[in-house]
Chain A
Amino acid sequence: MADARLKVTFAGPLVTVQDAGRFGHMRFGVPASGPMDRLSHAAANVALGKPAEGSSIEISLGGLMLECLSGEITLSVTGGDFTVDHAGAKLASWTVLTLRKGEKLAIRAGRWGSWAYLAFAGQMDIPQWLGQSATHSMSGFGGGTITSGQELYIQEAAVIETREGDILQPEYADIKGTARVVMGPQDQHFEQAALDTFLSKAYALSENYDRMGVRLNGETLAMKAALSIPSEPIVRGSVQVAGDGAPTVLLADHQTTGGYPKIATVVSADVDGLVQMRHRDLLRFKAISAAESVDEARRYAVHSKEYLDRISEPRGTLEQRLMGENLIGGVFS
């Protein structure tokens, strides 16, 4: 195994290095960061035989273009439906391929999805902060933002032909435009009519969408009084409502505390699906109980484990694969 050297010929905004996340530091103002879509990130890694917590490059709708300057390396692309142009071949995300010296790779926004994940069969030479390579976009701490012109060095770059080809997609993660929430923890500050509106009307994702959160357009949500509540803790999935009555869903790089009331919190099982929605997509909220949300978290974890175990198996040689196609077939859902 040798090293591979890749040139970033183009990087859109918000293309960052991520790993599973930096947990345990929220009390110091540090959110976990990590991938917006945790499941797709994990899939990119395990499809190469790596631990789910490994590093990847998170690619925004702005896209990423690479050229292999030296060496050769097998890589995976997961998340949404992005187009993947590799050395003249038109592919899509959920694929494993090998990039060789002189070849180009372009990953661009496709039919749906907001975030794609690029993982390498090797070790990216990237900085860490507090033991993790996850990038906190506001500060740039962690592995960092990928920018046009920079070079990526991948140590112990491997070619793993038995893993090349399509990756099964986790269709169970699709929320179909409805995010389940547990109401609160500051729902008591809202008029009953606002609570009814929140759960009955559709909200469109606005263009104000980054790693910190996505602001929603739709009917405003009235509070009982002009509020000045003490700053309270925030989590990934908190739906906070600003003074103008517009809700924002806070995401991977959320502030850890804030003074706007949180009308509801999106359950963790639905965040991966929510983040793959785009500007103008319509989102509805459905309230479930706290107990139900724990059941859903457990169900999602079981599904995810089964799914990741399944795609972590090498696909085998071409011959083995041709035999396998006839036996497996169908789509995991």
Chain B
Amino acid sequence: MKPTFKPVADHAVLVSFATKISDAANQSVVALDHAIAQAQIKGVRETVPAFVNILISFDPLVTDHQEIEAEVNKLLINLQNVSAKVGHKTVQVCYEGDFGVHTAEVAKVCGISEEAVINAHLSGDYHVVMYGFAPGYAYMAGVPEAIQVPRKSTPTRDIPAGSVYIASAQCLVSTIVMPTGWSILGRSPTKILLDDPKQPFLFDVGDRVTFERIDLATYDRLSKGGCNG
């Protein structure tokens, strides 16, 4: 896939593999991200992978857009050969009681039972596409079609950290108290902000994710000592 390059002010280049979301474009993003991490390109400060493109942030005192573009073009030649090691993470979810704020609503819209909504959510094949919005907010693709619902027109306010919510094909687990227009299905005790300088966040972009159902007693036990945030 031949990408386009766009300058972002004096300190970054945006490399885009497509204009519309596709698995192929995202795979190229993840592969290039890994290749850049291995290549240790002079002046590169950090990268931000997203759905179809990746931002390469650089130090303008050390390099410039043209040099970065040339280095990336070198990496693109062998991009397919980069072995992208994909991690696998498990996120526990309690779907019971007040935690499933919108489960009944999603069930109604999709014409299935609440239990079927939960099972559909558990059956999804998820992977982390990118982070965004707030620290640790990992956007996962893979919500099954049976429970894909659009964003709500009015956001729900003060949603606690650890809430598991969906909108169209995307799912995420919140890390701080926030309003959201997404549909909330449950609450997770799984820590995403890890307080570990070596691995400050649970997921890497590209990781596969499985949701595991837990009951309220297990949630209460696991969430003691604080969950996310």
Nearest chain-A residue to B12 (Cβ)?
A235
- Stretch with Cβ within 8 A of A (4 or more), from B60-68, B75-83, B96-104, B217-225: B60-68
Query: Are A230 and B60 in contact (CB-based, < 8 A)?
Result: no
- Give Cα distance in the complex from A229 to B205, angstroms: 20
Given contacts A141-B135, A231-B130, A258-B132, contact A301 B61 (CB under 8 A): yes
Query: Are A255 and B45 in contact (CB-based, < 8 A)?
Result: no
Give me 17 A-to-B residue pairs in the complex whose CB atoms sit less than 8 angstroms apart, sorted by A's number.
A27-B131, A29-B135, A130-B200, A136-B135, A139-B135, A139-B176, A184-B6, A184-B8, A233-B14, A257-B132, A257-B133, A258-B133, A267-B10, A268-B60, A291-B65, A297-B61, A301-B61
Q: Does A237 reach chain B (CB closer than 8 Å)?
A: yes
- Give Cα distance in the complex from A258 to B53, angstroms: 12
Query: Are B8 and A255 in contact (CB-based, < 8 A)?
Result: no
- Give Cα distance in the complex from A230 to B19, angstroms: 8
Q: Does B21 reach chain A (CB closer than 8 Å)?
A: yes
**Which of B8, B19, B48, B137 makes the CB contact (< 8 A) with A182?**
B8
Given contacts A29-B137, A139-B135, contact A24 B11 (CB under 8 A): no
Query: A226-258, CB under 8 A of B: which get 1 and which 0?
Result: 000111110101100000000000000001111
Q: Which of A184, A231, A233 has the most CB of B within 10 A?
A: A233
B50 nearest CB across to chain A (Å)? 5
Q: Does A282 reach chain B (CB closer than 8 Å)?
A: no
What A residues does B19 contact at CB under 8 A? 229-230
Q: What is the size category of the interface that chain A forms with chain B?
A: 35 or more
Q: What is the size category of the interface that chain B forms with chain A?
A: 35 or more
Query: Are B134 and A138 in contact (CB-based, < 8 A)?
Result: yes
Query: Are A266 and B9 in contact (CB-based, < 8 A)?
Result: yes
Nearest chain-A residue to B197 (Cβ)?
A131
**Which of B60, B65, B205 makes the CB contact (< 8 A) with A27?**
B205
Nearest chain-B residue to A181 (Cβ)?
B9
In B49-65, the 8 Å CB interface with A consists of: 49-55, 57, 60-61, 64-65
Q: Does B229 reach chain A (CB closer than 8 Å)?
A: yes
**Which of B10, B64, B131, B200 makes the CB contact (< 8 A) with A256?**
B131
**Which of B7, B12, B65, B132 makes the CB contact (< 8 A) with A231?**
B132
Query: Are B133 and A26 in contact (CB-based, < 8 A)?
Result: no
A275 nearest CB across to chain B (Å)? 15
Query: Are A296 and B10 in contact (CB-based, < 8 A)?
Result: yes
Query: Are B139 and A24 in contact (CB-based, < 8 A)?
Result: no
Q: Beyond the given A28-B201, A231-B132, A293-B60, could you list 5 further A-B residue pairs with CB under 8 A, ordered by the A residue number?
A: A185-B7, A230-B52, A232-B53, A237-B9, A291-B66
Q: Does B20 reach chain A (CB closer than 8 Å)?
A: yes
What B residues does A39 contact at CB under 8 A? none
- Give Cα distance in the complex from A141 to B51, angstroms: 27
Q: Does A78 reach chain B (CB closer than 8 Å)?
A: no
Report which B residues bind A (CB closer than 8 A).
6-12, 14, 19-21, 45-55, 57, 60-61, 64-66, 130-139, 175-176, 197, 200-201, 205, 229
- Give Cα distance in the complex from A296 to B9, angstroms: 11
Query: Are A230 and B46 in contact (CB-based, < 8 A)?
Result: no
Given contacts A28-B200, A235-B11, contact A138 B130 (CB under 8 A): no
Nearest chain-A residue to B22 (Cβ)?
A230
B136 nearest CB across to chain A (Å)? 6
Query: Are A290 and B134 in contact (CB-based, < 8 A)?
Result: no
What A residues does B53 contact at CB under 8 A? 230, 232-233
Query: Are A25 and B137 in contact (CB-based, < 8 A)?
Result: no
- Give Cα distance in the complex from A246 to B131, angstroms: 25
What A residues does B9 contact at CB under 8 A? 181-182, 235, 237, 265-268, 293
Given contacts A257-B133, A290-B7, contact A298 B50 (CB under 8 A): no
- Give Cα distance in the complex from A14 to B205, angstroms: 32
What A residues does B66 contact at CB under 8 A? 291
Query: Which 7 A-B pairs rank lowest in CB-CB distance, beginning with the nearest?
Result: A257-B132, A290-B7, A233-B55, A293-B10, A29-B131, A185-B6, A265-B9
Q: Does A294 reach chain B (CB closer than 8 Å)?
A: yes
- Give Cα distance in the complex from A131 to B200, angstroms: 11
- Give Cα distance in the complex from A237 to B7, angstroms: 13
Query: Are A27 and B61 in contact (CB-based, < 8 A)?
Result: no
Q: Which of A136, A182, A230, A298 has the most CB of B within 10 A?
A: A230
Nearest chain-B residue to A288 (Cβ)?
B10
Q: Does A23 reach chain B (CB closer than 8 Å)?
A: yes
**Which of A237, A256, A266 makes the CB contact (< 8 A) with B132?**
A256
What B residues does A136 contact at CB under 8 A? 135
What A residues does B55 contact at CB under 8 A? 26, 232-233, 235
- Give Cα distance in the complex from A230 to B16, angstroms: 11
**Which of B14, B51, B64, B131 makes the CB contact (< 8 A) with A28?**
B131
Given contacts A26-B57, A28-B135, A267-B9, contact A257 B176 (CB under 8 A): no
